[in-house]
Amino acid sequence: MSLPPEKASELKQLIHQQLSKMDVHGRIREILAETIREELAPDQQHLSTEDLIKALRRRGIIDDVMKELNFVTDSVEQELPSSPKQLICFDRQSTLKKTNIDPTRRYLYLQVLGGKAFLEHLQEPEPLPGQVCSTFTLCLHYRNQRFRSKPVPCACEPDFHDGFLLEVHRESLGDGTRMADSTTMLSISDPIHMVLIKTDIFGETTLVASYFLEWRSVLGSENGVTSLTVELMGVGTESKVSVGILNIKLEMYPPLNQTLSQEVVNTQLALERQKTAEKERLFLVYAKQWWREYLQIRPSHNSRLVKIFAQDENGINRPVCSYVKPLRAGRLLDTPRQAARFVNVLGYERAPVIGGGGKQEQWCTLLAFLCRSKGDCEDHANLLCSLLLGYGLEAFVCVGTKAKGVPHAWVMTCGTDGTITFWESLTGHRYIHKPTNPDEPPVAEQPKPLYPYRTIGCVFNHQMFLGNCQPSDAVETCVFDLNDESKWKPMSEEAIKSVCAPGATTSLPPFPPLCASTIDASVTSNEIEMQLRLLVSEHRKDLGLTTVWEDQLSYLLSPALASYEFERTTSISAGNEEFQDAIRRAVPDGHTFKGFPIHFVYRNARRAFATCLRSPFCEEIICCRGDQVRLAVRVRVFTYPESACAVWIMFACECAP
């Protein structure tokens, strides 16, 4: 790697300053004298360079210097593959640490310099060294770039000290290779989406706050550097309550040649807000008119689940069409069915509600859903619909009810041959819809629906919204000819586009890309398996039973677990014959084999074991008594994007009759 002469001299000067600050020369002289005194033999006339370096390394001097100079991997994780960039070490009062810098691009360096007033953790004791404690993690998304901070212990003043290097460019104008100037950057209205996640000692995640940071004030600041105090508000029912404050510093790199006046920046932001507010007002007027026309068709439509707006985690009403957008998974997911499996293994959790009174509505933005790795049925349906649209399918989110009138959301795809397929985002199951004809005589055989859905009020995607105006909203009798306006009342696509198209308004959160899993499937599988063996042995010991493990039998269970996951992903069963043949060969004649497979979407071995014991059949295997009892357990972790995983466990035993 070669540096320009001015950069090389700047780098040398920075290193020299740091060495002087640490008094490295004095420490080297002390160690040199000590080494000559203690280690140099009388017949030796000089000390070699290698001997001196060994002495410095032994006393930790070299490690200290390297650590102070920040020649270590930075904690910022840019989770998207990027083009090769020139490596420059830039340490200006520890502002910008070692990272990949492309000198032809413009960057925004965002530092989080601690937090305060997280009053919920006012009484939180100081964690002891090595003690497991609840942590905060800050997740960021900006223009297809995602970052994650180091976890810090939850406290009233959490010790956030992280830096994130955000690349600022505008490829949509065809000048992605040019360095953006102040005027160009002022027209980039994408905010920085910040999501704060709390992880408890059991690994359970909670969404604490979701904040959209307007960063362009730095364009009007002196030297392109500014400091901000960001107040984070709670989510859902607590969206009006402050949860804490973050101290943030923004810095442009390379420094701006010409900064804008603060008045120009404020005027631009005000114009954007005014334009967005006007578009949203016009859409609201149109939506009210559409709803009045919909009720005129049939007054009973008032009771149908026709969802035009939905509240996000910050309590802001957004058009439902803005929650869906074609999303490409790159090389992380290969097929639509694999995408359905990925969405299925993300955790399901209804929005928390204080007190009774039914379900709390909260549709999460995609970043909040992915960072928390769990959400409600609407979050799953929106993500699955977005992925299926990315695969080129005609997909819609359906809003209706399940049994007992419970509100629910699922996904529907329309084939070119007219086939209607329902996708249940919480389970990954697919159902072909064949409508029944209510006018047929009672003796006529009607297709029996296998899906759990009862009624449907509307369907939507990123471009269309259609209200069900058929005489009955029962799913089994619905005809999904979406072009027939006597059955489905459409909204104006232009009206939807005015507020939901990318870049249409500054209030729309941009969609983040998916990130590859950081979980090592083999290592995690082994860890969980070892923990389960220990838990089983302890459980049997408490019952006065000894435990003998059969490693070969454990290994033979692997094909079955792989087959189960393959079937969940593809709906095709394969490999069962080989598994059964191997088990017959492994189990001696006259001995009995019992196996119990079970599936989880979390990696907590103790929690999984407690769940397994609640199954009488599994408990019978774990607590098996008799002659020559041999136990086996196999764990197989299948990883998916966003570090989601499917965990398959099989307990088995063989024993003499």
Q: What is the dihedral of CA 91, 95, 98, 103, to 10 degrees?
A: -90
Contact 400, 454 (CB under 8 A): yes
CA–CA separation, 413 and 423 (whole Å): 8
Provide the pairing of β-strand 374-375 with 465-468.
unpaired
Q: Which residues contact 446 (CB under 8 A, 6 or more apart)?
A: 436, 437, 440
| Nearest Cα residue to 398 out of 351, 448, 342, 455 | 455
Contact between 327 and 390 under an 8 Å Cβ cutoff? The reply is: yes
Q: Token digits for 558?
A: 């692997």
Exposure string of 574-592, with b = 16+ CB inside 10 Å and e = fewer, is eeeeebeebbeebbeeebe
More confident residue, 332 or 176: 332
| 119 close to 226: Cβ distance less than 8 angstroms | no
- pLDDT value, residue 10: 63
Above 60 in pLDDT, residue 270? Answer: yes
Residues 141, 510: contact at Cβ < 8 Å?
yes
In this structure, what are the phi and psi dihedrals at residue 438, rounded to the nearest 5 degrees? -65, -15
Per-residue pLDDT tens digits for 480-530: 999 999 999 999 999 999 998 887 777 777 889 999 999 999 999 999 999
* Confidence category of residue 621, pLDDT binned at 50, 70, 90: very high
State pLDDT tens for residues 531-589. 999 999 999 999 999 999 999 999 999 999 999 999 999 888 887 888 889 998 888 88
Q: What is the mean pLDDT of residues 410-425?
A: 95
Q: Which helix (H) or strand (E) holds 499?
A: helix 493-500
Query: Rounded CA gap, 563 and 480, in Å?
Result: 35
Q: What is the pLDDT of residue 13?
A: 66
The band of 67, judged by pLDDT with boundaries at 50, 70 and 90, is low
Task: State if pTM tops 0.75.
Answer: yes
Q: Residue range 637-657: average pLDDT? A: 92
R_g (Cα) of the chain, nearest Å: 30
Mean pLDDT throughout 194-214?
A: 93
Residue 254: asked if its preceding bond is cis (omega within 30°), the reply is yes
3-state secondary structure 122-189: CCCCCCCCCCCCCEEEEEEEECCEEEECCCEECCCCCCCEEEEEEEECCHHHCCCCCCCCHHHHHCCC
Give residue-wise pLDDT tens across range 71-124: 433 333 333 433 333 333 333 333 455 556 777 788 999 999 999 989 888 777
- 4-18, 47-61, 314-328, 428-442, range with the lowest pLDDT: 4-18
How confident is the model over 279-295, as a mean pLDDT?
95
The predicted-structure confidence for 127-182, as pLDDT tens digits, reads as follows 777 678 899 999 999 999 999 999 999 999 999 999 999 998 755 544 555 677 88
User: Do the Cβ atoms of 425 and 344 come closer than 8 Å?
Assistant: yes
Find out whether 268 and 186 touch, Cβ atoms under 8 Å. yes
User: Around Cβ 541, how many Cβ atoms within 10 Å?
Assistant: 11
Q: What is the pLDDT of residue 69?
A: 57
The DSSP code sequence of 336-399 is HHHHHHHHHHSEE-PPP-SSSSSPPP-PPPHHHHHHHTEE-HHHHHHHHHHHHHHTT--EEEEE
User: In the predicted model, is pLDDT for residue 236 greater than 60?
Assistant: yes
Average pLDDT over residues 621-635: 90
**Of 72-81, 202-211, 328-337, minimum mean pLDDT range:** 72-81
Distance CA 621, CA 559 (A): 20
CA pair distance 31, 410, nearest whole angstrom: 70
How high does pLDDT run on average in the chain?
85
Could you tell me the pLDDT band of residue 2, with boundaries at 50, 70 and 90? low
Alpha-carbon span 596 to 649, nearest angstrom? 8
**CA quadruple 533, 534, 535, 541: dihedral sign:** positive
Within 298-349, where are the H helices? 336-345
What count of Cα atoms within 13 Å lies in the side-chain half-sphere of residue 552? 6
**% of the chain at pLDDT higher than 70:** 82
pLDDT at residue 214, as a whole number: 94
Can you list the pairs that 552-555 forms with residues at least 24 positions away whose Cβ atoms lie under 8 Å?
A: 552/586, 553/586, 553/630, 553/632, 553/652, 553/654, 554/529, 554/632, 554/633, 554/634, 554/652, 555/634
| pLDDT higher than threshold 90 for residue 410 | yes
Q: Identify the pLDDT of residue 564.
A: 93
Residue 126: C-alpha distances to residues 156, 208, 345 (Å): 10, 21, 35
Q: Is 625 strand, coil or helix? A: coil
What percent of the chain lies above the pLDDT cut of 90? 60
Contact between 571 and 430 (Cβ < 8 Å): yes
- As to burial, measured by CB atoms within 10 angstroms (0-12 exposed, 13-18 middle, 19+ buried), residue 280 is middle
Structure tokens at 654: 């063989």
